[in-house]
Amino acid sequence: MPVSLSRALFDLGLDEHLAAFSGAGYSSWEKLTTITEQELAALNIRPGNRRKLQRAIARSLNWPDNRPLPSAAELDRFRRS
């Protein structure tokens, strides 16, 4: 069952950003997994919160925890494989 955006952000301690993400068109966790570093910066998401979110996104796509966070290009290739 898909996780709601509000629940996912709450679980990460990032629920303060729900309005910003929703206002930017990210209405579901699945959509949010496509957000870029530039979009996070444009939404004024603090760097520590960006990393927390990016790690959660990587984990949701089965990216190994022992590897550095993927670049946008790596993540895109990983999604397609």
Stated length of the chain: 81
CA–CA separation, 37 vs 47, rounded Å? 10
The answer to whether residues 48 and 24 touch, using CB atoms and an 8 Å cutoff, is no
- pLDDT for 25 equals 96
Query: Bigger pLDDT: 47 or 72?
Result: 47
The answer to whether residues 40 and 50 touch, using CB atoms and an 8 Å cutoff, is yes
Collect all residues with Cβ–Cβ distance below 8 Å to 26 and sequence separation of at least 6.
Answer: 5, 32, 35
Q: Which domains, ranges and CATH numbers included, belong to the chain? A: 5-80 (1.10.150)
pLDDT digits (tens, 9 = 90+) for 28-66: 999 998 898 899 999 999 999 999 999 999 888 888 888
| Structure confidence at residue 17 as a pLDDT band (50, 70, 90) | very high
